[in-house]
Structure 1
Amino acid sequence: MKASLSVDVIDLPQGQVSYRAAGPHASDRPPVVFLHGLLVDGQLWAAVADLLAERGVRSYAPSLPLGAHPTPMHPDADLTPRGVARLVLDLIAALDLRDITLVGNDTGGAIAQFVLDTDPARIGRVVLTNCDAFDTFPPPPFTLLVRALRHPALVSMIALSLRSVRLRHGRLGFGPLASRPFDPEMTSAWVRPLADGSVRRDVAKLARGIDPRDLLDVSTRLGKVAKPVRLLWGDADRYFRVDLGRRLVETFADATLETVAGGRTFLPLDHPDRVAATILAAA
């Protein structure tokens, strides 16, 4: 089998969504769909996807409408967390994927839980790395960021400040989320879309729709999900602490938890080998 890589665009009811597809077109292994977090895009998963491609796994990493998406959604698109979960399900259906391994990180882990609560029919198994759970949605101090994102004018000011690599990679930017240095081109691509007023409108809609009570309510039904779940949790994450992962693993009927020493929020960037190995083991 020959691995391939492409960046494609698909039309969904909510608007155009770009996604990075990696791995062989024909594979006897379950396909993987990656879900990223707030203000980043599908590039977060590039190293993991490339490792999986070497093992013959086809994967899809969409850039969800969470603030770093290159194309604005339709003005009437539902961009609440459950609305984004429906977008994920529409993407999976449009690509005609079945028995998928759904992988989530950060806000993407919350979206994965909403997907399971909405319609798990095409999901075969789930892998979650450090992410939101219960009423930790988002964790402090990102509650302040989400409140700011509700106002497009404030988002514009944030976007201007993040043009500086020093600020973008500093302790008030992405810096604390990973232990390895960030690629400036990648993080620039994350913040560049915020220059578009329609993208700022989208992220404001998302931020207004984030309510910790909604994810807490979802958690009460996760035990009914008849899918195996693997949690891989960095134990040095100051935001999604390992105790949150331990609590989350007890919620599912069939789940395991492994920790990564020194791992932070962006485990796919710092430890792509561990994430890829967990995905392969899950299938």
Structure 2
Amino acid sequence: MTELQSMRESAQGRWTEQGNGAPVIFLHGIPTSPRLWRHVMPLVQGRCLAWEMPGYGTSIPDGANKDLSLSAQTGYLLEWIGSLDLGQKPVLVGHDLGGGVAQIAALRQPDAFAGLLLTNSVSYDSWPIPSVKMMQRLAPVLARLPATMIYPTMVQLVHRGHDNPQRALESIGEHWAPYIAHGAAKALNRQVVPLTSQDTKGVSGRLHTLGLPARVVWGEADRFQKIEFGERLAAELGCELIRIPNGRRFTPEDHPETIASAVNSLLSAA
């Protein structure tokens, strides 16, 4: 596989990019970064741009004084997209929180996108998951914990989200490093406190109005975002649900070929 290009930066944000052709924008969730898409992007037949949400990855410091709710992240995303010279409408691809941002963005600017792909995405009232709710309740304590106390929880959550043990180990190395570099406790605290399902409830029941080419790809064994929500999204978007048997939460890392194939089919349809 081709190595991803290094992080790019502008006044509007940070992202990784590779490839040429029709643009595809990839959106990550928690506790990841654009590196979530490192195995998918080389397989996609287009210009791939993986955006980094403020407050995550190398942009953790940028989240110190920002609203990190999905509604606010959508605003940052649209501002960043508006600053780019894409030449044509991009396809949006979102995982986890990034899938929620993709839904909100598509409804805020329905004429701005060529397609939508959601994989194991937050939606409706499917989130925050119990572990995140617990962290929200314990926020004052969480912010003061040493990284050595947070790391075991992170490892457990990552392993539970992977059906490929080797990729799980790789994933921990990829996604834990920014937390160590920028203060794990405070970073995680800033990320989880503003998370609310009100952001996705606000767009539920409206996705059918988009009329965009869409794909929904779901790991059937996801313990965090259950397959029933994938079925509901596919029905509302009017598309087939692409199921990944035994797949769990981190589909872009465990099943990049399946995700890339769905993206490429969207590019052909757009």
Same fold (TM over 0.5): yes
Following TM superposition, by how much is the alpha carbon of 1:205 offset from its aligned partner in structure 2, in angstroms? 4.3
In structure 2, distance between residues paired with 1:195 and 1:182: 20
SS of 2:236 mapped into structure 1: coil
In structure 2, distance between residues paired with 1:163 and 1:4: 28
In structure 2, distance between residues paired with 1:158 and 1:218: 37
Q: Answer yes or no: is the 8 Å Cα contact 2:120–2:219 preserved in 1.
A: yes
Counterpart pick for 1:214 among 189, 199, 206: 199
Show CA shifts across 1:16-41 (max 9, x none).
x33211113xx2xx211111111111
Q: Are 2:191 and 1:192 equivalent residues in the alignment?
A: no
In structure 2, distance between residues paired with 1:196 and 1:85: 26
Larger mean Cα displacement after TM superposition, 273-282 or 178-187: 178-187
Closer/same/farther in 2, CA of residues 198 and 118 from structure 1, 3 Å limit: farther
Matches within 5 A, 1:204-283: 204-252=189-237, 254-283=238-267
Closer/same/farther in 2, CA of residues 202 and 122 from structure 1, 3 Å limit: farther
Matches within 5 A, 1:1-283: 5-13=4-12, 17-24=13-20, 27=21, 30-52=22-44, 55=45, 57-73=46-62, 75-97=64-86, 98-148=88-138, 150-151=139-140, 154-155=142-143, 157=145, 159-163=147-151, 168-169=154-155, 172-180=156-164, 181-182=166-167, 184=169, 186-195=171-180, 203-252=188-237, 254-283=238-267
Q: TM-score, normalised by structure 1?
A: 0.82
Following TM superposition, by how much is the alpha carbon of 1:256 offset from its aligned partner in structure 2, in angstroms? 2.4
Equivalent pairs: percent with the same residue? 25
**How many aligned positions are there?**
264
Closer/same/farther in 2, CA of residues 239 and 221 from structure 1, 3 Å limit: same
Closer/same/farther in 2, CA of residues 116 and 201 from structure 1, 3 Å limit: farther
- Higher share in helix: 2
Q: Answer yes or no: is the 8 Å Cα contact 2:53–2:59 preserved in 1.
A: no
SS of 1:178 mapped into structure 2: coil
Show CA shifts across 1:131-180 (max 9, x none).
111011223343324444x44x514526333556xx643xx331011111
In structure 1, distance between residues paired with 2:15 and 2:184: 17
In structure 1, distance between residues paired with 2:110 and 2:246: 32
Larger mean Cα displacement after TM superposition, 183-192 or 74-83: 183-192
SS of 1:251 mapped into structure 2: helix
Following TM superposition, by how much is the alpha carbon of 1:12 offset from its aligned partner in structure 2, in angstroms? 3.5
Q: Answer yes or no: is the 8 Å Cα contact 1:86–1:118 preserved in 2.
A: no
Structure 2 residues not aligned, in runs of 5+: none
Q: TM-score, normalised by structure 2?
A: 0.85
Closer/same/farther in 2, CA of residues 23 and 4 from structure 1, 3 Å limit: farther
Q: Answer yes or no: is the 8 Å Cα contact 1:34–1:62 preserved in 2.
A: yes
